[in-house]
Amino acid sequence: MSEMISVLKLDGTVDEEKIKAIPEDLIHKMYRLMVFTRQWNAKALSLQRQGRMGTLASVRGQEASNIGMGLALEPTDWFCPSFRETGAQIARGTSPKDLYLYFAGDSRGLRPPEGSRDLPICITVGSHLAHAAGIAWGAKIRGEKIAVLSSSGDGSTSQGDFHESLNFAGVFKLPVVFAIQNNHWAISVPFEKQTATKTISEKACAYGFDGVRVDGNDVFAVYLTIKDRLNIARSEFKPALVELVTYRMDDHTTADDASRYRTEEMLAPWREKDPIDRLRKYLTAKFGWDEKKETAFLEEISAEVEQTVRDFEAEPHPKPTDIFEHLYHDMPWHLKEQREEVARHQGEAAR
């Protein structure tokens, strides 16, 4: 069983030597993105309760894993998320407004920004690991020096696609890093019922490449490890499995009630490990971050989130005929006919 890589301690102290590759402005950026993600997420949950947002998987507690991953990628790298990577997606440049739009049930929110190399959210658990391997394979065949990062949860490691994708990556030496956010829960099934191994990282030995285990609530450790592994993948065609040990602090989604299977005693130790509190302690000790700065900062982020909500709610309702778009590159006759049917029934404004 491999040691857990950890840099930022619970009390906010750090071995400065280990983070000398992280410039100060990047540390501030990490903090900003983590706090933004938490507020964006909290707002989404609140909107959901008011009926203004659809089903959503809360990312609270996993902000360090998310932001560490999102910032470790190069712009030319590819990122393949599942559905609890909203923070990583925002860090990569997906617009927070588009994510709101999507979770409120509007497909238009799914279109990545121009030039994006991020796949849309993958809801079926584990399948996008194969897509990540395929993208890495394509890049290797074409001679493009990039790496691919996939992210999924501990539940995904039970899927056949996990095994097959890691096996292909090992056999063909693909420039891909498989990050697993081990948040200890797959809806109601705890980690120990998901697998008989003590860790996820040790599974890598079945595929002929490295597995590493990282404190997933430590943004420095996540960032440095993922960045290092992406570099190795890019330059040496060595894939890796990276386990980010974290915890899902909320229900699985807004449609779940975790109190049916999870107690406060289980959550308590993880409240102590909160990724944002930890980084704030560091900022306080190192850069003199104080309550006044924090208050102003939180207000600023909150205003930004409120503006995002206004922007997304100002979007006009999608046209009913939109359902026929983007199924094929060129719309075949049967869809054209069905689109006409909708337009006829709903009136020309539907078009």
Helix/strand/coil for 165: helix
> Is residue 112 involved in binding another protein (CB under 8 A)?
yes
Burial class (CB in 10 A: 0-12, 13-18, 19+), 11: exposed
Cβ-based neighbours of 197, under 8 Å, separated by 6 or more: 203
Residues 17, 332, 345, 348: which binds another protein (CB under 8 A)? Answer: 332
Can you read off the two tokens belonging to residue 44?
């989404």
- Beta carbon nearer to another protein, 139 or 200: 139
CB of 30 to another protein, least distance (A): 28
Q: Which residues of 55-71 are buried (b: 16+ CB within 10 A; e: fewer)?
A: ebbbbbbbbbbbbbbbb
Of 248, 278, 280, 339, which residue is the catalytic one? 248
Asked if 61 and 248 count as a contact pair (C-beta separation under 8 A), the reply is yes
Which of 9, 32, 52, 131 is close enough to bind another protein by CB under 8 A?
131
Give yes or no: 248 in active site: yes
Give the number of C-alpha atoms closer than 13 A to the C-alpha of residue 209, restricted to the C-beta side: 24
* Smallest distance, another protein to C-beta of residue 118, A: 9
Q: Tell me which amino acid residue 211 is.
A: G
105 binds another protein (CB under 8 A): no
Of 74, 164, 277, 313, the residue at the interface with another protein (CB under 8 A) is 164
Q: Does position 325 bind another protein by CB under 8 A?
A: yes
- Span near another protein by CB under 8 A; candidates 55-63, 84-92, 166-174, 264-272: 166-174
Nearer to another protein, 19 or 130 (CB): 130
Catalytic residue (choose from 184, 213, 252, 278): 252
**Separation between Cα atoms, residue 194 and residue 208, nearest integer Å:** 22
Torsion, Cα 183 244 17 93, to 10 degrees, reads: -90
List the one residue out of 210, 275, 262, 204 whose CA is nearest residue 10: 275
51 is a site residue for another protein (CB under 8 A): no
Please, which residue, 67 or 73, has the CB nearer to another protein?
73
Q: Decide: is 317 part of the binding site for another protein (CB under 8 A).
A: no
Give the residues lining the site for another protein (CB under 8 A).
Answer: 78, 107-108, 110-112, 116, 119-120, 122, 124, 127-139, 141-142, 160-161, 164-165, 167-168, 171-172, 325-330, 332-334
**Residues marked as catalytic:** 248, 252, 261
